[in-house]
Amino acid sequence: MPGAELTETIARARSGDAEAWGEIFRQYAPGIFRFCRRALPTREDAEDATTEIFMKVREKLDQYDASRPFTAWLYKVSANHCWDTLRRRRIRQDLETGEVETLPLEHPDPGQLDQLIEESTSQQVRAALDKLPARARMALVLRYYSDMSYDEIAGALGVRRAFVGVVLLRARHQFREILGGRKMTGAAAGGTV
């Protein structure tokens, strides 16, 4: 939706125009669902979250600052909602436990990680994401699927900006190990992956 058209549609939705709200929902709900599906453990969680996010957005539409990109605001609301959902369920694992000494010093080779992802099916990538601790999964989804900055990720996860790099480094390393292990297991079993 072009910028001027989006601004007009948002203004109409703010004034209570149900058709304008429907346009916003139709335009952005599929992307938000895909985001939630990557961030949350089950499809049902993602469906519920998408509905709840759009209910929040509709209530808070008057708080949207039109000088900023609408999608950035929408994804921030979505990230906060997903992170709150994970926190409430207590599946979050705190990575800020003083284990910095045990972090791998080498940075995972981005080319190697890209190659693993490229050689894997979307189901394998999804399964690997599901095995990551909640904070690591959210950090990867926010950075690589929603293209958020370190500042935005820090705000969404409730951590210091300086810690975002540590979370992402560990998340990439864990993701590479999980995805690489799956491929090795499949190959060792004689199956094609």
pLDDT digits (tens, 9 = 90+) for 37-56: 888 888 898 999 999 999 99
Domains contained in the chain, CATH given: 3-88 (1.10.1740.10), 102-188 (1.10.10.10)
Mapped onto helix, strand or coil, the DSSP state of residue 55 is helix
For residues 193 and 128, is the Cβ–Cβ distance under 8 A? no
Rounded Cα gap, residues 17 and 37, in angstroms? 29
Rounded Cα gap, residues 11 and 155, in angstroms? 27
pLDDT digits (tens, 9 = 90+) for 137-146: 888 888 887 7
Q: What is the pTM assigned to this prediction?
A: 0.60
pLDDT digits (tens, 9 = 90+) for 144-159: 877 788 888 888 887 8
* Token digits of residue 176: 């590479």
- HSE (CB half, 13 Å, CA atoms) of 126? 12
For residues 157 and 167, is the Cβ–Cβ distance under 8 A? yes
CB neighbour class for 169 (10 Å; exposed up to 12, middle 13-18, buried from 19): middle
